[in-house]
Amino acid sequence: MSTSSEAKRRRTFAVIAHPDAGKSTLTEALALHAHIISEAGAVHGKGGRKATVSDWMEMEKDRGISVASSALQFEYQPEGHTGEPYMINLVDTPGHSDFSEDTYRVLSAVDAAVMLIDAAKGLEPQTLKLFRVCKARGLPIVTVINKWDRVGREPLELVDEIVTEIGLQPTPLYWPVGPAGEFKGLAHINEDGEADNYIHFLRTAGGATIAPEEHYSPDEAADKEADLWETAVEEAELLAADGALHDQELFEACETSPLIFASAMLNFGVHQILDTLCAIAPAPRPRSSDPAAVAASTSAMDETRELDADFSGVVFKVQAGMDKNHRDTLAFMRVVSGEFDRGMQVTHAQSSRSFSTKYALTVFGRTRATVETAYPGDIVGLVNAGSLAPGDTIYAGRKVQFPPMPQFAPEHFRTLRAKSLGKYKQFRKALEQLDAEGVVQILRNDARGDAAPVMAAVGPMQFEVMQARMENEYNVETVTDPIPYSVARRTDAESAPVLGKQRGVEIFTRTDGELIALFGDKWKLAFVEKEHPELTMEPLVAD
């Protein structure tokens, strides 16, 4: 098949939501319905149950939360589809707000998002924040109301909340039969807003296997479910009369969102999610270069990389320690254009250096498989690509450089040091690696020295991850201490000496060479800005 044909059958999407909405459980359920695993791990960290395959850190298993993104790839054949199976690239993301930066990076590497909403809680702060990022990036969103097997809110109330809070019009494709807590099945809603088929689900033990389905015509459904079916039909008709019908152009413009009700725990409505993504989610598309890089380049550079052009890819995550048996670093890359062949020589756009891609993997949780060939939309793990960082571009043939990843302004700061001086060498090695991954930002200055650098983070749980990984992966116990700062600003060489003399201000150098000024609080910042308006004090957020 040609590169463009391979790209057409790719579906690359992320699952986003507030913590505890069921992202990792849904990820596992999707893999189950694709027949990649034979039994779902159910909810991790409770009652001795297994952790989901996408959670590989010990910390994730212990706490039952996802703190790192995980990329899964598998083929899927929708019901009634007779062509080549679709290739699914699914990225499970951290739900905790402390790891927003990791989630934002993932959203730059996918073509669509599944927004998971808890049936009882509705829209929550992290969901709202992530929706706005998707909207800004033009990512089409499929909305899934999860946990419909538990007591929750009215379905029309949830639809109204989505419209009111974020201005996104849900367009039902599968409407629930039975209120929250009494999930019987789904009414399939056709393009005219009519319920034309009833899918009745049968429970399995603990939801560990695929839930069998029974299909009924509308008349049969009315006989079987009586008032429950009638209510579902009336609600669907009410939304249709209000114009809540699927329109592909409006969906891709992020103005409407196909809506599905499900229970990831029970595996109800799960393959309907996959079928919907295969049918309507956008396939990979050409990507534009970074305008600043094009303007600064002294050689010819593609302003837009077409799918069938030479190979190019963008790194969106760097991760070490995924497997204690493999002491290596994985750079997760989204293939943007062309055909990737393992072992090919590529060029790192940021440094213009060449390197070989001899070791390339697909990653399913901790399970690794060598990848020989990949196409636009695929996620590939490059092994021991230590020179790569999130946002970097690699390419073959004509040069291209994609826009950089956003960096977020840290609000929490602590020093980090090794408990034992005898572990200093391991400490420095671990620090270098985890800094490159972007677990935290590392700040240094001469006064504090290399033995006690400052960690800068969006949320305090990042510090816990840093310490846990240092101990588990590098055998280095560490100690952290708070420092009296809460605001960071980017500065320059001319302003730094003056800023450094201000009480309650300290100057650091970040690993990328940027000069960072830390202020005690926003009032201190405001005072210095008023007294020295000529000095550079820029917000760290870059988008």
The pLDDT of residue 100 is 60
Residues of each domain in the chain carrying CATH 2.40.30.10:
287-395
Cβ–Cβ < 8 Å for 96, 65:
yes
- Which residue in 518, 498, 499 sits closest to 508, CA to CA? 518
The first and second tokens of residue 487, run together, are 């605001």
Ramachandran bin of 449, using left for φ above 0, alpha for ψ from -120 to 50, beta for the remaining angles: left
The pLDDT of residue 278 is 96
The pLDDT of residue 224 is 96
Query: Is position 338 annotated in a ligand binding site?
Result: no
What architecture (CATH level 2) is domain 287-395? Beta Barrel (2.40)
Better-scored residue on pLDDT, 457 or 384: 457
Mean pLDDT of 314-332: 72
As a whole number of angstroms, the distance between CA 197 and CA 181 comes to 22
At residue 334, the 3 state secondary structure works out as strand
Residue 43 has pLDDT above 60, yes or no: no
Q: Cβ contacts of residue 353 below 8 Å, gap of 6+?
A: 347, 387
Query: What residue type is assigned to position 8 of the chain?
Result: K
Better-scored residue on pLDDT, 436 or 425: 425
Q: What length is written for the chain?
A: 543
Bridge-based pairing of strands 195-201 and 185-189 is antiparallel
Residues of each domain in the chain carrying CATH 3.30.70.3280:
412-531
Q: Cβ contacts of residue 1 below 8 Å, gap of 6+?
A: 84
As a whole number of angstroms, the distance between CA 68 and CA 317 comes to 10
Mean pLDDT of 241-249: 95
Query: Is position 94 annotated in a ligand binding site?
Result: yes
**CATH 3.30.465.10 corresponds to the domain 3-280:** no
Per-chain mean pLDDT for the chain: 87
- Per-residue pLDDT tens over the stretch 341-352: 999 999 999 999
Residue 282 has pLDDT above 60, yes or no: yes
How far lies 310's CA from each of 65, 355, 376, 378, 398, in Å?
A: 39, 16, 11, 15, 7
Bridge-based pairing of strands 141-146 and 169-177 is unpaired
Cα torsion angle, 308, 312, 317, 323, sign: positive
Residue 38 has pLDDT above 80, yes or no: no
- Per-residue pLDDT tens over the stretch 460-519: 888 888 898 888 888 999 999 999 999 999 999 999 999 999 999 999 999 889 999 999
Rounded to the nearest 10 degrees, how much is the dihedral formed by the CA atoms of 231, 234, 237, 239? Answer: -70
Question: pTM of this prediction?
Answer: 0.80
What is the band of 45 on the pLDDT scale with cuts at 50, 70, 90?
Answer: very low
Bridge-based pairing of strands 10-17 and 112-118 is parallel
Query: Is position 188 annotated in a ligand binding site?
Result: no
- Per-residue pLDDT tens over the stretch 134-177: 887 889 999 999 999 999 999 999 999 999 998 999 999 999 99
Residue 28 has pLDDT above 90, yes or no: no
- Mind giving me the DSSP string for 451-484? TSPEEEESSTHHHHHHHHHHHHHH---EEEEE-S
As a whole number of angstroms, the distance between CA 101 and CA 439 comes to 9
The pLDDT of residue 207 is 82
The first and second tokens of residue 296, run together, are 């600064």
Query: Is position 93 annotated in a ligand binding site?
Result: yes
Residues of each domain in the chain carrying CATH 3.40.50.300:
3-280
As a whole number of angstroms, the distance between CA 466 and CA 471 comes to 9
412-531, which class in CATH?
Answer: alpha beta
Residue 262 has pLDDT above 60, yes or no: yes
The first and second tokens of residue 134, run together, are 């998707």
The pLDDT of residue 126 is 75
